[in-house]
Amino acid sequence: MPDKQQIETIKGKNAFIVDMDGVLYHGNKLLPGVIEFTEWLIKAEKKFLFLTNASERTPEELRKKLFRLGVRVPSDVFYTSALATAMFLSSQKPRGSAYIIGDAGLINALYNVGYTMNNVDPDYVVIGETRSYSYETIEKAINLVLKGARLIGANPDVTGPGEHGLVPGTKALISPIEMATGRKAYFIGKPNPLMMRNALKKINATREESIVIGDRMDTDIVAGIESDIDTVLVLTGITTQETIDTYPYRPRYILNGIADLVTCYA
């Protein structure tokens, strides 16, 4: 159990960048303490952002999901790797075109920055999490990349937590395309510092007043470290107490789960 001083130090931060999968929920199962933590963020007038490497859902879909689980927050507190990907591509090639293997969150994000969908000669092949992944889509992506389209991954996650165990992430889905073409994808989501810089801008926060809460050493925690933001690892997702020492870096704080912030020393 974390000590009282650590809890008070974490809660003393003014801005919270909070991962979702493995921190707030597993699939459609809300994790303990999330409702109370969110209510505290609002009551204490903290700046906060729910930041996810998942690209499938739009912010409005994420708002509705949390609403169904009992958490009431506006859609503008969500920031996804799909939104970060769209911002990056728009800055690289405004109003370009893309062949997308992904779901509504990624498609809508690109559409909203002026990108058109193109399966003939796109500027980019963009991959995110999706259940509509097939041999045909892989074949199409491979040939478009070989013809000159640049390969982009919404995030570098190999797996993610689901209700019934691990599910394949974007990096796992994009690997066959990389192997077949010999081209390496550029990944936008955490731990790419772009994601964290965008998050800080969105909530108008400085590095010093912020803290990152996540369940993955290889994305959330390293993203915070490389962006010089304090980090909290929760043990309700991918990383376990036993695997922490396999990494050459450490989080600033370790909690059993988000519930520690609202139940410990109450």
Element (H, E) at 232: strand 230-234
Structural contact between residues 54 and 25, judged by C-beta atoms closer than 8 angstroms: no
Residues facing residue 160 across a β-bridge: 167
Structural contact between residues 96 and 126, judged by C-beta atoms closer than 8 angstroms: no
How far, in Å, CA of 212 to CA of 148, rounded? 37
Strands 159-162 and 165-168, by their bridges, are antiparallel
How far, in Å, CA of 77 to CA of 59, rounded? 8
**Alpha-carbon torsion (159, 256, 261, 26), positive or negative:** positive
Structural contact between residues 102 and 142, judged by C-beta atoms closer than 8 angstroms: no
DSSP letters spanning 144-166: HHHTTPEEEES---SEEEETTEE
CA atoms within 13 A of residue 143's CA, in its CB half-sphere: 8
Q: Say whether 31 sits in a helix, a strand or coil.
A: coil
How far, in Å, CA of 163 to CA of 29, rounded? 7
Which is catalytic among the residues 19, 103, 123, 260?
19
Which is catalytic among the residues 21, 157, 215, 260?
21
Phi, psi at residue 237, to the nearest 5°? -130, -125
User: Is 157 among the catalytic positions?
Assistant: no
Residues classed as catalytic: 19, 21
